[in-house]
Amino acid sequence: MSEKKADDLALLAHLYAGGELPAPEAALFEQRLSQDQAARDALAEAVWMSAVLYGGEPRPDPAYRQQVRDRLRPTWWRRLVGRRSYRGHPAFWSALGAVAAALCLLLLRPAPAVQVVERTVVQTQPEPEAEDDAAALHDMALVWAELHNPDHAVKSATQEQKRKDRREDRRQLRKTNSSEQSH
């Protein structure tokens, strides 16, 4: 008996989908659609079957498809000036950030330190030039004597060699310690 009800429901759905159901019966079927999921499923099946029989799968109107495309893929101008889900425009927020950074640099910058330099002039008694020249020549001679002394260079080279030898001895000691620990 449930098969007969299902067949009757499918027939009613096909008649309703095709517009062949009389007005009073169509109103009763619409009321049933609002309350019965089986009636809604039967109507969906009837619409799909009639679409397949009379021209393939149902497709939306091409004009509607174009409207959807336009709305989903806006032009560059609409992207630039169109409405956004947030307040403001990216260019506005960028400019606001730049202004805030400039204000921070100008207002929060520490004041330059002022240094006061005082000059004092001391006058001394001029000494005889001959004594100055002799003392300066003597000092210069001592510096040149130290610079051209080969003992200084030899001493420096021996100290450098001792440092290298100590480093090498430490490396050898570490190697022997690590080899003893591994055995």
CA distance 126 to 144: 28
Q: What is the greatest pairwise CA distance in the chain?
A: 142
Q: Inform me whether the pLDDT recorded for 1 exceeds 50.
A: no
Lowest average pLDDT, out of 23-27, 148-152, 171-175, goes to: 148-152
Side-chain half-sphere exposure of 113, counting CA atoms within 13 A: 3
What number is the average pLDDT over the span 108-128?
Answer: 66
73 in a structural domain = no
28 in a structural domain = yes
What number is the average pLDDT over the span 99-120?
Answer: 78
96 in a structural domain = no
155 in a structural domain = yes
What pLDDT was estimated at residue 19? 85
103 in a structural domain = no
Residue 178 domain boundaries: 136-182
Number of domains in the chain: 2
95 in a structural domain = no
End residue of a domain, out of 12, 34, 59: 59
Lowest average pLDDT, out of 53-57, 72-76, 96-100, goes to: 53-57
Tell me the two tokens of residue 82.
């169109």
Q: Inform me whether the pLDDT recorded for 42 exceeds 90.
A: yes
